[in-house]
Amino acid sequence: MEKFVKLEINKNSLIEYFLTQNYLDNKTMYKNIFLVEKGCYLIIKKNKIKKKKYFNPRDLLFKSSNSNHDSLEKLLNKSVKKQLVSDVPLASYLSSGIDSSLLSYFISNRIVDLQTFTCGFLTNSKIPKHFDESNDAYLIAKKLNVRNKSILFDQKNLDEDLKILFEIIEEPRLGFSLPNLKIAQFIKKNNYRVVISGAGGDEMFGGYQWRYKTAFLSKNKNEFIKNFFTHNFRFNIEDLNLLFSPIKSFLKKEFNIKTFNTIFKHLNNNSKQDDFIKSCFLYDINYFLESYCILEDKISMSQSIETRVPFLENELSEFALNLNIDKKVSFNKNKNELVGKLLLKELAKNKLPDKIIKKKKQGFTAPYEFFLNNKSEIIKKIFNKKCNIYNFIDYNYVNKRIVSSLNNKNERSFIWSVISFYYFLRSKKIND
């Protein structure tokens, strides 16, 4: 791409990435380079480009349905059947979460001796054991009578692995995605070219409980929008001027936090709690799921692997979007407890071990201890004042915050944002 386009950082995108670990609308990290808008296609005719919109999840999400787990089971079975058509050996991810486990259950009813793959982490006294899902994956595999292979990810060659990752994904997106590359490489090594993924289950059926709580606690549109971003920004907004002091003139002139409100422009003064909760789902689908699919596609294709996603099949995703909120999530205000994926968990009864159904949502990420220790070569590189990330972000602020983060696990997102920006700039010839 560098041969044809002068690559420059989109400073708006950079700020959005630190705030959300994502980009809003169809921006990328590059100035004047955009994605085709979601749910759209382009018609190029006589040197003119026309955009056509063919799908908006909001149209289905804000309807309602009385569907139950019987129709979910039929649709999931039907979707899995479609995705299993292949002229090469096919495998399945098994993360030990409910999504990939349910898919493995339905696949195992159709494929004898199904091979599943899991990415775990070599844990020690400093790295909590709950990050390693390989033991739970083994429990599920035993229950379903399927084969399972696990790759245990460690910190060896982390610098080289991150270089390779950013050559593949081309720009920072979402959180720590190196495990996705590791397991794709492992699947390729085991001679599989098609793999079934549980992607979309969280976004469609309510897996991000922490995100929905702000909607349950909000009384009106303005309160919801304020609570949503206060809760979901990965970075303290009051510190923006400190972090981005090298580009503070741009920050004052061009960046306006109020632009985030346009994400929920469909809401009005008559909007109710259900509308706020559905808006959380819409945010996850439009931004998180889109970016995850972009990452997964780039990573799997780099290994000549085709990833298939039954939860995003047309009929099943339309069913999920139509579901009433009370079939997805519930909130006990007295206990301050929110439970998600209600219908999926109902379906999973007698199919999966109870431990897995009741398991707390963790997400496919790495322990922060992978980066945050004084001996880390990556941290030493970032502490180098000559590093070109400091043309955009403030050295003293980053240094101080990373040092304080050594004892604060809640800083994982900020540290990864700095690390990913560092490797992104290393991998590309960017005009400062």
Condensed to tens digits (0 to 9), the pLDDT of residues 212-249 reads 989 999 999 999 999 999 888 877 788 899 999 999 99
Q: Are 215 and 326 in contact (CB under 8 A)?
A: no
Closest CA to 80 of 356, 285, 306, 308: 308
What average pLDDT is seen over the chain? 88
Instruction: Tell me the pLDDT tens digit for each residue of 2-16.
Output: 566 788 999 999 999
The CA distance from 222 to 46, in Å, is: 45
Is residue 74 predicted with pLDDT exceeding 60?
yes
Instruction: Tell me the pLDDT tens digit for each residue of 290-344.
Output: 999 999 999 999 999 999 999 999 999 999 999 999 999 998 877 778 899 999 9
Pair of tokens at residue 14? 């950079």
Going from the C-alpha of 108 to that of each of 19, 104, 112, 196, 346, the distances in angstroms are 41, 6, 6, 12, 19
* Domains, the chain: 11-57+232-260+369-427 (no CATH), 59-207+276-367 (3.40.50.620)
Buried b (16+ CB within 10 A) or exposed e, 357-391: bebeeeebbbbbbbbbeeebebbeebeeeebebbe
The CA distance from 52 to 34, in Å, is: 16
CA dihedral 351, 290, 176, 168 (to 10 degrees): 120
- If pLDDT is split at 50, 70 and 90, which confidence band does 252 have? confident
The CA distance from 41 to 110, in Å, is: 35
Amino acid identity for residue 323 in this structure: L
Residue 366 has φ and ψ, to the nearest 5°, of -110, 155
- Helix segments in 25-177, DSSP class H: 57-61, 69-83, 98-108, 134-144, 158-169
Pair of tokens at residue 89? 């050996």
3-class DSSP state for residue 264? helix
Instruction: Tell me the pLDDT tens digit for each residue of 95-146.
Output: 888 999 999 999 999 999 999 999 877 765 455 555 667 788 888 999 999 9
3-class DSSP state for residue 129? helix
3-class DSSP state for residue 92? strand
Q: pLDDT exceeding 70 applies to what percent of the chain?
A: 89
Buried b (16+ CB within 10 A) or exposed e, 16-33: bbbbbbbbbbebbbbbeb
Record the pTM: 0.90
Closest CA to 216 of 272, 283, 267: 272
Pair of tokens at residue 173? 């997106």
Closest CA to 363 of 97, 118, 117: 97
- If pLDDT is split at 50, 70 and 90, which confidence band does 153 have? confident
The CA distance from 128 to 75, in Å, is: 37
Is residue 162 predicted with pLDDT exceeding 80?
yes
Q: Are 427 and 163 in contact (CB under 8 A)?
A: yes
